[in-house]
Amino acid sequence: MNAWQPGRANRGQRRGNRVRAVQRMRLLALTTLVATYLLIVLGSTVRVTGSGMGCKGWPLCSGSIGPIDQFHPLMEQSHRYLVTIVTVLVVGLAILASRTGAQARLVRGPALAGVGVVAVQVALGAVTVVTNNAPVTVALHLAVGLLFLGVVTVTAVASFADPERSLPVLRGTSRLAWAAVVGLFLVLVSGSLVVDGGAEAACPSWPVCLGSRAAGGLVNLQLTHRSVVLVGGALVAFYLLDVRRGSPSRSPRRRLAMAGLGALALQVGVGAVDALLRAPEALADLHLAVAAALWATVVATVAIRDREPSMSRRGRRGLRPLSRREPSAARRPVVTSSATRIPPAGRSIATWRSFHGGRPMHRHAETEAHVSPASP
């Protein structure tokens, strides 16, 4: 026994190292997700407060790290610092996932995709500054940012998933789920176009646009956004309700669906108040913050999978446990013969032949039976 103790100790140490590596990967994935969400919110604050051109140059602010004594340069440069932190986190997560082993099989793909998306996002940020915050580049910058938030969300979900199984977002996702994701993405992009085009206060009424004195183009942009919200919000609501009905109680997927429904209701309410109050800065920033939270929640709901077996209490009540005297189907002997039912004579002949060395009782007795236990 003493000779086996070093081997057991080494196996236990390797198992402990793998567990700690997975824990570090999960912590880093969650940290990256939170930092990315804060980056989206801070980017919204920069846009709403008009601080997008607080720094004329890139990547430094007018050739220096500061100045920090002015509001707009401080907001813009703080956003860039947070971009740097998120980039380091994403790259570190990809490196850690590549070194963790088989336990990170599902994390490597989304983590590497996150590195590519954040590189594109940084390049778009530079283009946005060079083009003096053109509406198209700003909307594209936000769209890629939301895509990056979705990739990071999938990475965080994958870090907690069973590596032996595949993610639903890669295989087995329903059409309703994809429709909800695409619809919500279009809602967020159309909202960005409304803000960047200056149409956030074009319609002082809600849900229809009555008594507006704004230009026709701004009103049409606002109405287009509200139409997209109607269709996309309905798709998201139908999908989350379907997940709520089909998932077991107390499952993470059901809880995410409930949180998504709450975020959707809050988002509609904030949007209505924002339109009626002519889009103040605080409400406009809150509007996008709730939208980003809703986006991450819906993506996580699509990416997560319920643990198996998932059986409700009502289904478990219908199952009756087998008694000791009642053998299960796997333990019952399987009788194979040329006929469907073996007559008693056939059984007696088979028993007589096995007892007397295989000699038949009669010349024309050809009925045989072979009894073999089924493999469990």
pLDDT tens for the chain, residues 1 to 376: 455 455 565 666 666 677 788 889 999 999 999 999 999 999 888 888 887 777 777 777 777 776 667 888 888 888 888 999 999 999 999 999 988 877 788 898 999 999 999 999 988 888 888 888 777 888 888 889 999 999 999 999 998 887 777 666 656 678 899 999 999 999 999 888 888 777 777 888 888 888 777 777 888 888 899 999 999 999 999 999 999 998 888 899 999 999 999 999 999 999 889 888 888 888 888 998 999 999 999 999 999 875 543 333 344 344 444 444 444 444 444 444 444 444 445 444 444 444 444 444 444 444 444 444 444 4
φ, ψ at 371 (rounded to 5°): -110, 125
The amino acid at residue 24 is: R
3-state secondary structure the chain: CCCCHHHHHHHHHHHHHHHHHHHHHHHHHHHHHHHHHHHHHHHHHHHHCCCCCCCCCCCCECCECCCCCCHHHHHHHHHHHHHHHHHHHHHHHHHHHHHHCHHHHHHHHHHHHHHHHHHHHHHHHHHHHHCCCCHHHHHHHHHHHHHHHHHHHHHHHHHCCCCCCCCCCCCCCCHHHHHHHHHHHHHHHHHHHHHHCCCCCCCCCCCCCCCCCCCHHHHHHHHHHHHHHHHHHHHHHHHHHHHHHHCCCCCHHHHHHHHHHHHHHHHHHHHHHHHHCCCCHHHHHHHHHHHHHHHHHHHHHHHCCCCCCCCCHHHHHCCCCCCCCCCCCCCCEEEECCCCCCCHHHHHHHHHHHHCCCCCCCCCCCCCCEEEECCC
| Residue 228, pLDDT score | 94
| Residue 188, pLDDT score | 92
| Residue 54, pLDDT score | 77
φ, ψ at 172 (rounded to 5°): 90, 15
How far is it, in rounded angstroms, from Cα 354 to Cα 371? Answer: 12
| Residue 19, pLDDT score | 78
| Residue 304, pLDDT score | 86
How far is it, in rounded angstroms, from Cα 122 to Cα 64? Answer: 19
| Residue 180, pLDDT score | 95
| Residue 349, pLDDT score | 47
Tell me which residue of 82, 267, 94, 297 sits closest to 191, measured CA to CA.
267
| Residue 67, pLDDT score | 61
pTM of the model: 0.74
User: How many residues appear in the chain?
Assistant: 376
Tell me which residue of 122, 39, 118 sits closest to 75, measured CA to CA.
39
Q: Domain-by-domain residue ranges, the chain?
A: 13-165, 170-305, 333-373
Tell me which residue of 86, 68, 85, 69 sits closest to 77, measured CA to CA.
68
How far is it, in rounded angstroms, from Cα 86 to Cα 225? Answer: 30
Tokens linked to 219: 């009103």
| Residue 321, pLDDT score | 42
Tokens linked to 346: 């056939």
How far is it, in rounded angstroms, from Cα 107 to Cα 96? Answer: 10
59 prior amide bond cis, ω within 30 = yes
| Residue 270, pLDDT score | 92
